[in-house]
């Protein structure tokens, strides 16, 4: 089991051929989402395996933690250090710095099967990225769009995850200060009371951020100086998420909670 080695898909390049999902025998990808490659179990990825990356016909897969010098054999994707190794928020220590004309959009979520707000945000963000990506590329930006499930407390710690769902642009959280309300879906997953994120936009509160808000916030993050919100710095897994992970693990464990 790898601690900091797992595939990252560049959705702007991915053609959804499904080869990576078919290639991996370790359940890293969510087969229920096939042919869209969604990394479900990053901790199951085998350290230094490049199996799916070697199979990808368009070079859309790179690896967090890859220091081997490997480059995708197909396509033009370069291996870049967008891994959270430097500061844990995915910015590589350059939060909000768009000077190199690279835009890394990360969608961090708890669940894409049961949680209405995670699924809803996923759909809205997909649609926004479908429009913004070609426009940003036309303006000379290299755009990467990654989705990462915060499947365990370990992954949440690694990404300095504060609340679900979270959208980051070059490591900067575009959702503003974290505000939450009770989330029945995640409560169902974990069997505990869990709060998830809500978003403020033009005086209204949304559990699923509207496209206008996402587009505006992403463009603001790309074209303005860093305005804070970076996940760098002191981090502690919020109690709310601790409760969620503990509940989820007890619910899924056949011991009924006695061994966890």
Contacts of 76 (CB under 8 A, 6+ apart): 59
Helix axes 211-223, 116-138, angle to 10 degrees: 50
Q: Which of residues 20-39 bind ligand SF4 (CB under 6 A)?
A: 20, 23-24, 26, 28, 35, 37
Query: Cβ(181)–Cβ(207) under 8 Å?
Result: yes
Q: Is 14 in the site for ligand SF4 (CB under 6 A)?
A: yes
Q: Return the range that interacts with ligand SF4 (CB under 6 A); candidates 19-27, 111-119, 144-152, 240-248.
A: 19-27
Q: Is 126 in the site for ligand SF4 (CB under 6 A)?
A: no
Q: Is 43 in the site for ligand SF4 (CB under 6 A)?
A: no
Q: Is 58 in the site for ligand SF4 (CB under 6 A)?
A: yes
Structure tokens at 182: 């009770």
Q: Is 9 in the site for ligand SF4 (CB under 6 A)?
A: yes
Q: Please give the Cα distance from 90 to 95 (Å, whole number).
A: 8
Name the 3-class secondary structure at 176: coil
Rule CB under 6 A: choose which of 4, 8, 40, 60 binds ligand SF4: 60
The b/e string for 60-82 (b: 16+ C-beta within 10 A; e otherwise) is bbbbbbbeeeeebeebebebbeb
Q: Return the range that interacts with ligand SF4 (CB under 6 A); candidates 54-62, 94-102, 116-124, 180-188.
A: 54-62
Least distance in Å: CB of 19 to ligand SF4? 4
Structure tokens at 5: 């080695």
Q: What are phi and psi of 13, to 5 degrees?
A: -105, -30
Least distance in Å: CB of 45 to ligand SF4? 3
Distance of CA 87 to CAs 38, 177, 225, Å? 24, 20, 19
Least distance in Å: CB of 193 to ligand SF4? 34
Name the 3-class secondary structure at 247: helix
Least distance in Å: CB of 13 to ligand SF4? 7
Structure tokens at 162: 């504060």
Q: Is 237 in the site for ligand SF4 (CB under 6 A)?
A: no
Q: Is 65 in the site for ligand SF4 (CB under 6 A)?
A: no
Size of the site for ligand SF4 (CB under 6 A): 27
Rule CB under 6 A: choose which of 4, 38, 56, 167 binds ligand SF4: 56
Q: Which stretches of the chain bind ligand SF4, using CB under 6 A?
A: 7, 9, 14-20, 23-24, 26, 28, 35, 37, 45-46, 49-52, 55-58, 60-61
């Amino acid at each position: 089991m790898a601690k900091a080695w797992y595939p990252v898909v560049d959705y702007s390049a991915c053609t959804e051929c499904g080869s990576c999902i078919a290639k991996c025998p370790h359940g890293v990808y969510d087969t229920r989402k096939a042919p869209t490659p969604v990394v479900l179990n990053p901790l199951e990825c085998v350290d230094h395996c490049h199996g799916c990356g070697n199979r990808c016909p368009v070079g859309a897969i790179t690896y967090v933690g890859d220091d081997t010098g490997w480059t995708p054999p197909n396509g033009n994707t370069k291996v870049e250090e967008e891994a959270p190794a430097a500061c844990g928020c995915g910015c590589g220590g350059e939060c909000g710095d768009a000077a190199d004309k690279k835009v890394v959009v990360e969608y961090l979520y708890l669940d894409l099967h049961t949680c209405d707000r995670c699924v809803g945000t996923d759909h809205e963000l997909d649609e926004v990225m479908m429009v913004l990506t070609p426009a940003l590329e036309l303006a000379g930006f290299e755009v990467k769009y990654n989705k990462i499930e915060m499947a365990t407390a370990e992954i949440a710690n690694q990404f300095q995850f504060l609340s679900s769902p979270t959208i980051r642009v070059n490591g900067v959280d575009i959702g503003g200060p974290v505000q939450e309300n009770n989330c029945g879906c995640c409560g169902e997953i974990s069997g505990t009371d869990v709060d998830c994120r809500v978003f403020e936009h033009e005086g209204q509160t949304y559990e699923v951020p509207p496209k206008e808000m996402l587009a505006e916030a992403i463009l603001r993050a790309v074209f303005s100086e860093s305005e804070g919100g970076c996940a760098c710095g002191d981090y502690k897994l919020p109690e709310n998420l601790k409760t969620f992970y503990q509940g989820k693990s007890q619910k899924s464990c056949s011991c009924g909670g006695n061994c966890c």
